[in-house]
Amino acid sequence: MQRTLKVYLAGEIHSDWRGELATAIERAGVRAELLAPVTDHDASDQCGVRILGEEDKAFWRDHKGAGINAIRTRTLLREADVVVVKFGEHYRQWNAAFDAGFAAALGTPVITLHDDGLSHALKEVDAAAMAVAATVEQVAEILGYVLSE
């Protein structure tokens, strides 16, 4: 269809899955606008105290940064047509699941992206998703199909 899809890419920021997805999408000629949180891990962690001043306690340092990051993520989550949420082996990635829950409550279609080995742990999140993909190529194909004539 003659339309650009806004796709928010939530989750994992320590791998380059967003770049790989962008490449796959571009290669396939899919008209998707990819939206994302700030993926520079240090910038994301430090933005609160860097802009609004240092804190003694780690908790408030994180709190300030999380607030600023949420300005971006909430805006994009509300604006997205589709939300892709990537889960990986490392770290706890609770923010990824949080974003999936937020999108589900808004009624925005969710695609989860993870290895099959995580399926049992992600069963509630997957059950709220419209597609469960294992690779970025699958996500690109889904978006391509969704946008086909």
Positions in 30-89 near its own copies (CB under 8 A): 33, 35-36, 38, 40, 43, 47, 51-53, 56-60, 62-76, 78, 81-82, 87
Please, what is the minimum distance in Å from the beta carbon of residue 112 to its own copies?
10
Our CB check for its own copies shows the closer of 23 and 131 to be 131
Q: Is 101 exposed, middle or buried (0-12, 13-18, 19+ CB in 10 A)?
A: middle
Please, what is the minimum distance in Å from the beta carbon of residue 142 to its own copies?
6
Is 12 among the residues that bind its own copies (CB under 8 A)? Answer: no
Q: What is the layout of strands, in order, in the sheet containing 110-113?
A: 32-35, 5-11, 82-86, 110-113, 131-133
According to DSSP H, which parts of the chain are helical?
A: 17-27, 41-52, 58-79, 94-106, 123-127, 136-146
CA atoms within 13 A on the CB side of 146: 21
Cα(25)–Cα(126) distance, rounded to whole angstroms? 23
Number of residues that bind its own copies (CB under 8 A): 82
Our CB check for its own copies shows the closer of 15 and 137 to be 137
Buried/exposed 60-90: b ≥16 CB within 10 Å, e otherwise: ebeebbeeebeeebeebbeebbbbbbbbbee
Please, what is the minimum distance in Å from the beta carbon of residue 13 to its own copies?
12
Restricting to residues 88-147, name those near its own copies by CB under 8 A: 91-107, 109, 111, 116, 118-134, 138, 141-142, 145-147
Please, what is the minimum distance in Å from the beta carbon of residue 16 to its own copies?
14
Please, what is the minimum distance in Å from the beta carbon of residue 21 to its own copies?
14
